[in-house]
Amino acid sequence: MDTKCKYNKGRFVSVGITDGFSYSPGQFNIILLKKGYLSLKCGNNRLIANGPSLISLYGTEEVTLGALKGSVASFNFAPQFINIHLSSRLLSSEDYLSIAAEHLFPSFRIFTHHSDAYGGVLPLGETSSQRMNVLFDRISVLTSKQPTFKWSCKVRSEIFLILDLAEFNLSTFESGGNELSDMLESIHAKIDTNLSLLSLFKTYNTTAPTVSRKFKKLFGTTAINYVLNLRLTLCSCVLAFTDINVNEIAESYEFNDSTYFARMFKRQFGLAPLDFRIKKRSDRDNNLK
């Protein structure tokens, strides 16, 4: 399902969202089962999910709805919606993950990785479920109303948030989590909001020194730096794959001081934000022909 752009006559963008179940072969499909029960026939296999959960599908095989009792929303986008160089051939390459790391492409692990524990259905806790609902609603507004000329860039930035939260949940689901999993889920779910770590500490009945020790043990850094690094990483993806203004990107991730954002970004990535954007585009054009 594509979306007609109201700004450029004849332009159709390979992204779509709808209430209810839909599936677009050859595209990434994310189905948010808000509540209830869903059964799908995927080729010769049957997939069953209970809400709230996220169903992630990608491929050319036929997917049909077997049964649905509950509430569901479906979101699809073509690989090329992220970037024109992101072809099916590149995605199927044995070197894709190393190429993705170099050029900041998503890993798309929620679509391509299957294990004994995970077959495309990711259970969601209350925090992640509420957040996914918000992100789907924002994408729905962007695609239907197209409030700005750069609406498709805005959708792309929302995709990075969905993938980050989903892949965090997948990692936790498969590993069984750790003593900070609930707090980490809240951080990933609220990363582009006015996130207060002190409020989180109170919510989880702990103290800053205790959390700091646990973060350093698990990640080698503090909670504050974990949040900072995650925000900068997400900003780097938006910079690399959209035309959204640098200051607007910074503000959307709660960097209200553009000078501070530029300094922190350069410290982490070695380049000023705009120079980083230019380099990433040049690298893709030169190396991914």
Mean pLDDT split into 10-residue runs, the chain, 289 residues: 89 95 96 97 93 94 94 98 95 96 97 94 98 98 97 98 98 94 96 92 90 93 95 98 97 95 98 98 93
**154 domain residue, yes or no:** no
Is the separation of the CB atoms in 35 and 51 below 8 Å?
A: yes
What is residue 114's predicted lDDT score, i.e. its pLDDT?
93
Pairing mode of beta strands 63-77, 15-19: antiparallel
Is the separation of the CB atoms in 240 and 252 below 8 Å?
A: no
Q: What is the pLDDT of residues 109-142, one digit of tens each?
A: 999 999 999 999 999 999 999 999 999 999 999 9
Instruction: Give the residue numbers spanning the domain of 54.
Output: 1-148+160-168
Residues 97 and 2 in one domain: yes
Residues 201 and 68 in one domain: no
Tally the domains of the chain: 2
- Compute CA distances 209 → 3, 202, 272, 275, whole Å: 49, 13, 33, 37
Residues 10 and 121 in one domain: yes
Domain stops at, among 116, 137, 168: 168
- Return the DSSP state at 244: -
Cα-flanking dihedrals φ and ψ of residue 117, to 5°?
Answer: -90, -30
**Residue 44 CA to chain centroid, in angstroms?**
29
Residues 112 and 18 in one domain: yes
Residues 50 and 123 in one domain: yes
Burial tier of 85 (Cβ tally within 10 Å: 0-12, 13-18, 19+): middle
**173 domain residue, yes or no:** no
Q: Round to whole Å and give the CA distance between 162 and 129.
A: 11
Residues 101 and 225 in one domain: no
Which tokens is 78 given? Answer: 């073509």
